[in-house]
C-alpha cells in the first residue's frame, strides 16, 4: 500500500500531534485527512507553516498544563459523593465507574472532565471513601477523594431489634396487669353496690393452750 508523508494540523489520537510529520496510507490522507482539514501534504509552502504550527502547539500545551495544574490543586480538596443501590446486607449492585464519577463532578462542582483522565485500577465495589488517581496531563497527576454512599436504608442490628422487642413485651405485660387490676376493682364495686360483701378468706382459728388451771382443777 502506497504511503505518503503529511503534516498534521491537529492532534490525532494514535497518529500524532499538531505540526508532526507522519507517514500514512495515501488513500487515508486523500479521502479523510485532507478533506477534514486534519493534515496537509508536505510541500515547500506547507513546510514554511511548520514554525507557526509548532508555536501554536507550544502555546496550547502550555495553556493546558497551567489549566490542569490549577485544577489539580482545586480537585484535591474536593469530596465527591456517589450514591448507589445496595442490598439489605450493604453490598453494592454493580460498581462505580469513571463515567459516574465525571457525572458527579459536573453535578456537584460544575467541573467538566474527560472520563479517560480517571484511572481506576480496580472497579469500586464497596461503600466508603476511596482515593482515585486522575491523569489530568502527561505531567500532572491528582488525587480525587470519592465517597460511595448507599441509598438503601440498612437493616437495624439484631441486638437493637431484640432490645426493642423486649421493651414492647415489657410494656404489654405492664398494660395487661393494669387491665386486670382495673377489672378486679370494677367487680368489687359492683358487689358493694348490690349490698353484698366481697368474699374474704376465713381466718384460721388460733388454738391457745390454757396457761392457768380452772378452780375445779385446783380443788381436785
pTM value?
0.55
Q: Do 126 and 143 contact (CB within 8 A), yes or no?
A: no
Assign residue 131 a region (left: φ > 0; alpha: ψ between -120 and 50; beta: otherwise). Answer: beta
Which stretches of the chain score pLDDT less than 70?
1, 153-167, 169-220
CA-to-CA dists, residue 28 to 4, 7, 17, 46, 195, angstroms: 9, 13, 17, 19, 118
Helix (H) or strand (E) holding 130: strand 128-137
- Give the pLDDT score at 178: 59
Question: Which residues neighbour 197 within 8 Å (Cβ) at sequence distance 6 or greater?
Answer: 191
For the stretch 127-132, contacts whose Cβ atoms lie closer than 8 Å and that sit 24 or more positions apart, written own/partner, are 127/84, 127/86, 127/90, 127/92, 129/79, 132/101
- Give the pLDDT score at 93: 87
> Which residue from 49, 80, 212, 71 is spatially nearest to 141, judged by alpha carbons?
71
Angle at 25 between CA 21 and CA 31, to 5 degrees: 100
Q: In DSSP terms, which residues pair with 5 in a beta bridge?
A: 23
> Which residue from 121, 123, 130, 134 is spatially nearest to 149, judged by alpha carbons?
130
Q: What is the tens place of the pLDDT at every residue in 45-93?
A: 888 888 888 888 889 889 999 999 999 999 999 999 999 999 888 788 8
Question: Which residues neighbour 29 within 8 Å (Cβ) at sequence distance 6 or greater?
Answer: 4, 6, 39, 41
All structural domains of the chain: 3-72 (3.40.5.10), 77-150 (3.10.430.100)
Amino acid at each position: 500500500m502506497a504511503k505518503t508523508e503529511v503534516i498534521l494540523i491537529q492532534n490525532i489520537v494514535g497518529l500524532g500531534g499538531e505540526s508532526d510529520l507522519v507517514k500514512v496510507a495515501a488513500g487515508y490522507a486523500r479521502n479523510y485527512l485532507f478533506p477534514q482539514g486534519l493534515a496537509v501534504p508536505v510541500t515547500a509552502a506547507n513546510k514554511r507553516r511548520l514554525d507557526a504550527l509548532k508555536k501554536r502547539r507550544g502555546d496550547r500545551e502550555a495553556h493546558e498544563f497551567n489549566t490542569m495544574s490549577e485544577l489539580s490543586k482545586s480537585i484535591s480538596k474536593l469530596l465527591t459523593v456517589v450514591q448507589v443501590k445496595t442490598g439489605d446486607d450493604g453490598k453494592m449492585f454493580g460498581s462505580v465507574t469513571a463515567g459516574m464519577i465525571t457525572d458527579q463532578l459536573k453535578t456537584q462542582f460544575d467541573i467538566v472532565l474527560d472520563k479517560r483522565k480517571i484511572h481506576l485500577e480496580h472497579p469500586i465495589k464497596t461503600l466508603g471513601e476511596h482515593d482515585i488517581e486522575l491523569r489530568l496531563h502527561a505531567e500532572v497527576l491528582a488525587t480525587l477523594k470519592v465517597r460511595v454512599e448507599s441509598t438503601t436504608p440498612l437493616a437495624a442490628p439484631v441486638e437493637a431489634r431484640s432490645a426493642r422487642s423486649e421493651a414492647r413485651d415489657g410494656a404489654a405485660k405492664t398494660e395487661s396487669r393494669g387491665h386486670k387490676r382495673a377489672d378486679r376493682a370494677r367487680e368489687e364495686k359492683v358487689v358493694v353496690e348490690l349490698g353484698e360483701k366481697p368474699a374474704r378468706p376465713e381466718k384460721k382459728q388460733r388454738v391457745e393452750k390454757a396457761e392457768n388451771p380452772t378452780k375445779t382443777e385446783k380443788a381436785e
